[in-house]
Amino acid sequence: MTDELARRIAALIPRAKADLAELVAIPSVADPRQYPPEKCREAAEWVAAAFTEAGLRDVHLEETPDGSHAVIGHRPPPPGAPTVLLYCHYDVQPPLDAAAWTSPPFELTERDGRWYGRGSADCKGNIVMHLTALRALGDDLPVGVKLVAEGSEEQGTGGLEAYLPPHAGELHADALLVCDTGNAAVGVPTATTSLRGVTTVLVTVSTLGGDVHSGMFGGPAPDALAALIRMLDSLRDADGGTRVDGLDCRGTWAGVGYDEQRFRTDAGVLDGVRLTGGGTVADRLWARPAVTVLGIDCPPVVGSAAAIPATARARVSLRVPPGTEAFPAQEALIAHLRAAAPWGVRVEIERESAGSPFRAATGGPAYAALDRAVREVYGTALSFLGQGGSIPLCDVLARTYPEAEIILMGVEEPRCLIHAPNESVDPGEIEHMAHVEALFLRNYADSARP
């Protein structure tokens, strides 16, 4: 039976590639300042049509509070069988520097055994994984299935998080497959059990009524950019580790580690450049807060004048591990920045969204069913890892459905370079993880019955 399922999935991979090519060609960036909103609508309608064809019922678009559209559908369970929610998102990150792409970002391109294109892994690759698993099972679907495909996950505007609680019955399930992560490496089946939360702030420093000549006033006139640099530098200790007053930045990770040399390769760290912070790589990634300056508004080098900047602005992100709540961490970050402001400069701080961290419970029947599935497909046990990224929806799901098992899995792995130029996916991971998903749905139907 498993061999037959594997043959069906292998035969569906050309279709998966064609589907992914169509999806990647839609620039569904959920930011109207960069791309037309119609493109997100086009992607949502594509997803709705594809899952309808794959056997789900009443697949439709629901507008969420941030104006994006979630694609929602279902297929009822056989009598006595459990229901599984399949999550994915169809919006993507902007391509950033198009010149850094070897091939066009919105054109699926095969190269060196991988498929390149924005969203090929995050998260359109997971969409075609779901479709391939459902098509392979066909009418032999032993569980109920619900679908939610989010339309603004990459922008962090919280549309689905706000939509879900008042519509909890619509998406209720016994197990939730949140397919927006992936494996530790190609061929290493992995469930993510820990996610950092995230909070961001915009900090603006003002010192003068306007820019003034650096020759006439430089020295005593306070430089807003210099003040901002001092404030940002205060967020790191001498070895580059994050330091925010009021937050514990010494946590340790007790699970599977992350080899330092592999991390350097995965992250593209240049030869001779040291990693920042102390402790193991896993400690720094999954058990401690991590601050990042996402962007700075200041005079550009080209076109800059001999003038003292009167204002400067930065967007600062803070990732927080399970055990640290996002909103108190945001308050600590704001208090730290204000206290670090030199020379009496004026500081304005705007709060952006905050998403809580998440830790999964792994002792239930869904995880047991997934472990059996990965053993059949990969010939090895399921691995558990943390992830430095954030999926704020997971905390909302955990609070809304406290009895449900939440599994984070998918086709992504470090070589995918999600969010970066030249994002790609290994087609073998789509095939194998679709096989895992199909087997999981079969196994879970048996293990979850009373």
Cite the active site residues: 91, 153
Q: For residues 332 and 335, give the distance between their C-alpha atoms in angstroms, rounded to a whole number.
A: 5
The Cα 431–Cα 438 span in angstroms is 11
User: Helices 365-378 and 427-447, interaxial angle, to 10°?
Assistant: 140
End-to-end CA distance of the chain: 24
- Three-state secondary structure along the chain? CHHHHHHHHHHHHHHHHHHHHHHHCCCCCCCCCCCCHHHHHHHHHHHHHHHHHCCCEEEEEEECCCCCEEEEEEECCCCCCCEEEEEEECCCCCCCCHHHCCCCCCCCEEECCEEECCCCCCCHHHHHHHHHHHHHHCCCCCCEEEEEEECCHHHCCCHHHHHCHHHHHHHCCCEEEECCCECCECCECEEEEEECEEEEEEEEEECCCCCEEHHHHECCECCHHHHHHHHHHCCECCCCCECCCCCCCCCCCCCCCCCHHHHHHHHCCCCCCCCCCCCCHHHHHHHCCEEEEEEEECCCCCCCCCEECCEEEEEEEEEECCCCCHHHHHHHHHHHHHHHCCCCCEEEEEEEEEECCEECCCCCHHHHHHHHHHHHHHCCCCEEEEECCCCHHHHHHHHHCCCCEEEECCCECHHHCCCCCCCEECHHHHHHHHHHHHHHHHHHHHHCCC
Angstrom distance (rounded) from CA 197 to CA 183: 20
- CB within 8 Å of 300: residues ≥ 6 apart: none
